Amino acid sequence: MGYGLVQDILMLVGLGVITANIYRAMIEPVNPRIHWIIACFSVLLWTVCEALWTLESSVLIRPQSEYAYLNVSYLLPMFGVFCAVGVFLFIKFSNTEEKSVVLLDIVSVLLLVSTLSYSIVGDIDILKALNSVTSTAALCAMALNFAILFIVLSELFTSNLLYIRVSGFYLIVFGILFTMINLYVAYNKITIENYDFGYSSLYMIPFIILMIGSFYLKTENKRVTTADIGLMTGSKWLPIIAVLPLLLQSDFGSMLSLLALFFLVSNALISYYIKSAMASKKMLEHEKILHQEMEKLVHERTNELMLANLRLQDISDKDYLTGLGSRSFLMNELKRASDELQANEELAVYYINISHFKAINASYGHEVGDKILKTAARRITGICNRQETTARIGADEFIVISKMELGSETKRMKFGISLKDAIEEPMQIERYHFAIKCVIGIHIVTQKSKAEPRAIIKNADRAMYYAKENPASNPMVYNDEIDNKIHLDSMLEIALRKANLQKDFQMYFQPVFDLDTSRIVCAEALLRWYSKDYGLMEASDFMGIARGSGDILNSICMNATLKTVEHVSRWKKDMLNIPKISINVATTQSTSENFIHSFLQMTKNFGVSPRSFELEFCEVLWMNPPEILDKIFELLKSNEIDVCIDDFGSGYTSLMYIRKYSINRLKIAADFVTQMAFSKIDAQIVAGIINLANSMKLTSAAKGVQDVKILDELRQLKCKEGQGYYLARPMSAEEFEEFLRQNPQIINAV
């Protein structure tokens, strides 16, 4: 008895939890379903009945005859389940479009359940059973459960037509299991006297399944098809299932059995053919709709492709940003113009490159860069007339083709200068002011010197690069000298790749003098390359070639820095009085703080103070983003390294940066200094830079002091320092060492 009581209590607790969970699932969804609400109350009623049964049998310990009324009470939750699944079937049936097919399957299920009920109830004496309250209740329970079984089987076999979801499928499974247990118990209560079902806890199984289904109401509640649950449609399996109970009967000659079998098979066949016909009709309609949609789509796509082809044809001839001609357009026009060229005509092909444009993009953003290109394009077209062809062939590269009379050197150069002056006019983009520079190379095409368009553009490009290295020759016309230089550069590049960094490259040192005291304040470290084929070469002769190959340039520059630090370390150990040594920082090395870190590590390895050196940067340094500049100058300042801006005035400089960051020396470009005596403009530039440096309390240093006249003029302008062949020529490391030993008094203390 104790075990039975524990079992009853656990079942009550379990049913209570199930009821609570179903109720919780029902109150959370936005639109609770009525059939689930009925199911919830059915569970609740079953819990009440179980509680009363446990109270009477296990607590009060009364004879079963005194609480036989509870047998009737259990009919209420069964009726609730019947209502729940009935409402569920009604809702699904009313929403489906396949009502005729569903009805045929329902009829088949009805015949099946009728056959099952007949085979079960046939052995029961109904009149005798009605004399007992318990048996009467059992008969009612069987009738209710046969009705429930009919409904849930109808739902199961038509689930692919009723769009039943996961929660609904669990409700169906609950109904089947619940019905089977009830039928088993009711049948035994009628056929066996004083029958007592000792496995009441089995009722927990369908209730738990019901609880699981309720949880899907508030989670992903997908549609369930017969394929998902491993079942086929009722039209395929229903005849076999229906025949099985008939085969279990002993009386095969029964007219009722034969009629039932006939109706089942007939109904199943009719249902099957109706379903097949409807499926074929649906398939044909679907194919028809799909065909129409495909025809419409093909028509639309054809029109779109035609329009796209027209747009592409137009776009392919124009640059998307500037509206100038594209590269393909230029090639066609250049070939056409070359083919139509007369004997007394020439084509002047101008290759225009915007200087330092990549740095502008990096510093100010692509949006500003695009606006600069658009402005430059407008200025180019403003100079040109309808006879000229204009195109943009690269990020910062433009082409202008102009037809002229043969031998129009003056007109050709004048047009090139006009293009250059127009592009280089100061421009304001948003809140920024730019002094854009450009380089122009020119190639002349005559009837006798025709070539493929690519070769023509290549020669113009070569002339542009020559002008870039020789600013005084900008614009530059392609000639034999450039061709020879290109060949020489190619040979030099091969020789550079074969060179021995340790043996073939040497460091030279050129002093920088205080123009007032004539004492050495600094010495610039200069790289020299001794080539077996070309002899001793200055850096300007081969560094331009090295820039074309990043790996060579980086190796050469790092080796030069290492050799310089090594020389200084040796001189310091020998107690030699040396000035501060200035190291040139290549453009590629000034794009990040990595070079500074490498340089500091070198000084640490050789035991030399970083304060013994000065780093010379080109004006390209200012093209770096502000965050990079901040990192570079923070490292320089923390290690007390002097900074010099080399060739000041020859490139892009923002005074804002000079004011913001710690700059010690401004070196005036040699091109301005050497031309002071011949060019009033150059003299004014030099004077302006000196005045600027003095006003900002910076040291001004002039490069290119070639004679006493330049020296005297610089002293009159109050330039503080000078460097050039007139003052001292570059010396090898050994020569410089000997010079310092013989003239220790000429050096300012570091």
Report whether 391 contacts 319 (CB < 8 A). yes
The residue with greater pLDDT, 431 or 18, is: 431
User: Given pLDDT bands bounded at 50, 70 and 90, which one contains residue 629?
Assistant: confident
Amino acid 30: pLDDT: 45
* pLDDT the model gives residue 236: 47
pLDDT-based confidence at residue 709 (cuts at 50, 70, 90): very high
- 583 forms bridges with which residues in the sheet? 525, 615
Mean pLDDT over the full length of the chain = 79
Q: How confident is the model at residue 550 (pLDDT cuts 50, 70, 90)?
A: low
As given in the structure block, the two tokens for residue 196 are 């007592």
Q: What is the pLDDT of residues 191-237, one digit of tens each?
A: 777 776 767 777 777 877 777 777 777 666 666 654 444 444 444 45
- pLDDT for the residue 252: 44
pLDDT for position 23: 66
The predicted pLDDT at position 717 comes to 92
pLDDT digit string, tens, across residues 123-136: 676 666 666 667 77
pLDDT band of residue 295 (cuts 50, 70, 90) is: confident
String of DSSP letters for 113-142: HHHHHHHHHTTS-HHHHTTSHHHHHHHHHH
Could you tell me which residue, 416 or 21, shows the higher pLDDT?
416
Give the residue-averaged pLDDT of 525-551.
79
pTM of the model: 0.48
Give dist(CA 139, CA 115) in Å, integer: 17
Contact status, residue 686 vs residue 673, Cβ threshold 8 Å = yes
Mean of pLDDT values over 109-114: 72
- Residue 308 pLDDT more than 70? no
Strand-strand pairing, 731-732 and 613-617: unpaired
CA dist., res. 510 & res. 522, Å (int): 9
Percent of the chain residues past pLDDT 90, beyond the cut: 22
Mean pLDDT of 139-162: 74
pLDDT digits (tens, 9 = 90+) for 557-574: 889 999 999 999 999 999
Mean of the pLDDT values across residues 451-468?
Answer: 88
DSSP label at residue 56: I
- pLDDT for residue 235: 43
Taking the C-alpha atoms of residue 689 and residue 687, their distance in angstroms, rounded to an integer, is: 6
pLDDT recorded at residue 316: 64
pLDDT, residue 1, reads 47
Non-local CB neighbours of 456 within 8 Å, separated by 6+ positions? 334, 338, 349, 443, 445
Average pLDDT over residues 451-471: 87
Tell me how far apart the alpha carbons of residues 134 and 140 are, in angstroms, rounded to a whole number.
10
Mean pLDDT of 16-20: 70
Helix extents (H) in 227-340: 234-247, 255-316, 327-339
Return phi, psi of residue 723, to 5°: -150, 130
Position 125 scores a pLDDT of 65
3-state SS, 550-563, equals: HHHHHHHHHHHHHH
Query: pLDDT: is 82 or 475 the higher one?
Result: 475
699 or 300, which is more confident?
A: 699
CB 663 within 8 A of CB 699: no
> For 340-383, how does the pLDDT look when each residue is reduced to its tens digit (9 = 90+)?
888 888 999 999 999 888 878 777 788 888 999 999 999 999 98
Predicted local confidence at residue 220, as pLDDT = 65
45-49, 545-549, 681-685: segment of lowest average pLDDT: 545-549
27 by Cβ neighbours in 10 Å (0-12 / 13-18 / 19+) ranks as: exposed
pLDDT beyond 60 at 313: no
Top mean-pLDDT range of 57-61, 240-244, 494-498: 494-498
How far is CA 140 from each of CA 145, 175, 683, rounded to the nearest angstrom?
9, 17, 121
